[in-house]
C-alpha cells in the first residue's frame, strides 16, 4: 500500500526535489481509514496533500504523505433559489467550477482557475476578485484522525477569516477534509464585478451585463495574463499574505506613501497589497539562483527550474527583513512551508 522514498516533485506545483519517507494515495474514506489505522499511519508524522498548490517542500518529509484522491461531485439538494452541490476532496477545483457553470449554477465564477483541489479550499478559505470560499460554503465532512470518526462542520464551526479557518488554527492537524457542500444559485445570480481588474476587463470587452459564464471567462483571462502557469514555471500562487494593519499605522504609511493601495476591512483595520510593497522595495522580477519573484506579479515566487529549498527560504527571509526595515511591516507566508 505504501511507497518508500517517493519523490514529491510532481506532487506540488512549486516543483522542488524533496522526498517523502512513505507515500500513499487514497481514493475513498474507507481507504483513508485503513491508512490511518495501519502501523505506518500510526507511527509516523502525517502530511495530507491535495493538489500541492499551496505546499512548498523545502526539505524531505520524514513521515507519511497521504495524497487525497477521492473523486465525485453531485447535486444533493435544492431549496428556493439555492442548489447544494457536494464535491469530494480530491476533485480539481477549476473542473468543479466549470461543471457548476455548465449546470447554470452561480457562485464560483470569480474563483475560476484557482489551482488546487476541493479539500484544501476551506482550509485557507481561498479567495479571488472579491469572493471567498466562505461566501458559497454550506458545510463539510471531515475525518477526525484520533478517533476515525466523521464529523460535519457548518459554516460557523469553520471560523473563516482572510486566508484562514479553524483548520489552520485550533484544529490544525486533527481532521482530514473528505468533502465540501457548496450553496449555489439556480437563477438571479449575484454577479460580483466591483474588483478593479474585473471591471476594467469587462469594459475593455464592452460587456455591461455579464453572465456567470462570461464572468468566469474574464477571470480566466486576467489570471492567465498575470499569474504564471505552474506547469510552465513552478509556483504556489501568492507566497505571502496581504498584511492587515491598524488604521493608525495605515495613516502613517499613507502620509509617507500617498499612492499606497489599501482596502479597509473594518474601521480599525486596513489590508495592504503585499505585491505593491514588494515591487516598491525592488524585488519584483528579481532572481537569486533558481528562485525569483515573478516579473508580472510581485507576490508570486517562482522556480526557474532547479530551485532548492534553502534558496526559497533564504529569498523569503531576505524579503521579510527588507520589508520590515523599509515599512515596519511583517510579511507572513501564505503558502504552507515544510
Question: Between 33 and 304, whose beta carbon lies closer to ligand EPU?
Answer: 304
User: Interface mask (CB under 6 A) for ligand EPU, residues 226-245, using x and -?
Assistant: x----------xx--xx---
Per-residue cell: 292: 525569483
Q: What is the DSSP letter of 196?
A: H
Alpha helices in the chain (DSSP H): 29-37, 39-43, 93-102, 196-205, 212-226, 247-256, 274-280, 309-327
> Minimal distance in Å, beta carbon 259 to ligand EPU?
9
Per-residue cell: 181: 457542500
134 is catalytic: no
Angle made by CA atoms 7, 11, 14, in degrees to the nearest 5: 100
> Minimal distance in Å, beta carbon 4 to ligand EPU?
32
Question: How far is 40 from 271, CA to CA, in rounded Å?
Answer: 43
> Minimal distance in Å, beta carbon 281 to ligand EPU?
11
The answer to whether residue 73 forms part of the interface with ligand EPU (CB under 6 A) is: no
Angle made by CA atoms 127, 277, 271, in degrees to the nearest 5: 45
Question: Between 178 and 272, whose beta carbon lies closer to ligand EPU?
Answer: 272
4 is catalytic: no
Contact 111, 96 (CB under 8 A): no
Matching residue, cell 447544494: 84
238 is catalytic: yes
Question: Between 299 and 323, whose beta carbon lies closer to ligand EPU?
Answer: 299
Residues that bind ligand EPU (rule: CB under 6 A) add up to a total of 18
Question: Between 86 and 241, whose beta carbon lies closer to ligand EPU?
Answer: 241
Q: Which residues pair with 293 in a beta bridge?
A: 301
Q: What is the DSSP letter of 161?
A: B
Of the candidate residues 34, 159, 181, 197, the single one contacting ligand EPU (CB under 6 A): 197
Contact 67, 23 (CB under 8 A): yes
The answer to whether residue 329 forms part of the interface with ligand EPU (CB under 6 A) is: no
The answer to whether residue 117 forms part of the interface with ligand EPU (CB under 6 A) is: no
Question: Between 84 and 162, whose beta carbon lies closer to ligand EPU?
Answer: 162
The answer to whether residue 21 forms part of the interface with ligand EPU (CB under 6 A) is: no
The answer to whether residue 120 forms part of the interface with ligand EPU (CB under 6 A) is: no
Active site residues: 163, 238, 334
Amino acid at each position: 500500500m505504501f511507497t518508500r522514498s517517493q519523490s514529491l516533485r510532481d506532487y506540488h506545483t512549486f516543483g522542488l526535489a524533496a522526498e517523502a519517507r512513505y507515500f500513499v494515495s487514497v481514493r475513498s474514506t474507507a481507504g483513508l481509514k485503513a491508512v490511518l489505522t495501519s502501523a505506518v499511519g500510526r507511527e509516523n508524522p502525517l502530511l495530507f496533500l491535495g493538489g500541492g498548490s499551496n505546499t512548498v517542500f523545502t526539505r524531505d518529509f520524514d513521515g507519511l504523505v497521504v495524497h487525497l484522491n477521492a473523486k465525485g461531485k453531485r447535486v444533493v439538494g435544492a431549496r428556493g433559489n439555492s442548489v447544494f452541490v457536494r464535491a469530494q476532496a480530491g476533485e480539481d477545483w477549476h473542473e468543479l467550477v466549470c461543471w457548476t457553470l455548465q449546470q447554470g449554477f452561480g457562485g464560483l465564477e470569480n474563483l475560476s482557475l484557482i489551482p488546487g483541489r476541493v479539500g484544501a479550499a476551506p482550509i485557507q478559505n481561498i479567495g479571488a476578485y472579491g469572493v471567498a470560499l466562505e461566501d458559497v460554503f454550506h458545510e463539510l465532512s471531515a475525518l477526525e484522525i484520533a478517533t476515525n470518526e466523521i464529523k460535519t462542520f457548518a459554516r460557523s464551526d469553520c471560523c473563516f477569516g482572510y486566508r484562514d479557518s479553524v483548520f489552520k488554527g485550533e484544529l490544525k492537524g486533527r481532521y482530514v477534509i473528505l468533502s465540501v457542500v457548496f450553496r449555489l444559485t439556480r437563477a438571479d445570480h449575484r454577479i460580483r464585478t466591483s474588483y478593479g481588474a474585473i471591471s476594467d476587463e469587462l469594459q475593455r470587452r464592452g460587456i455591461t451585463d455579464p453572465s456567470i459564464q462570461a464572468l468566469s471567462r474574464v477571470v480566466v483571462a486576467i489570471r492567465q495574463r498575470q499569474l504564471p502557469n505552474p506547469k510552465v514555471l513552478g509556483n504556489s500562487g501568492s507566497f505571502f499574505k496581504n498584511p492587515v494593519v491598524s488604521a493608525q499605522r495605515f495613516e502613517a504609511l499613507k502620509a509617507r506613501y500617498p499612492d499606497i493601495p489599501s482596502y479597509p476591512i473594518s474601521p480599525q483595520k486596513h489590508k495592504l497589497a503585499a505585491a505593491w510593497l514588494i515591487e516598491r522595495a525592488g524585488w519584483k522580477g528579481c532572481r537569486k539562483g533558481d528562485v525569483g519573484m515573478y516579473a508580472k506579479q510581485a507576490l508570486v515566487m517562482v522556480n526557474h527550474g532547479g530551485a532548492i529549498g534553502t534558496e526559497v527560504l533564504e529569498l523569503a527571509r531576505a524579503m521579510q527583513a527588507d520589508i520590515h526595515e523599509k515599512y515596519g511591516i511583517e510579511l507572513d507566508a501564505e503558502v504552507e512551508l515544510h
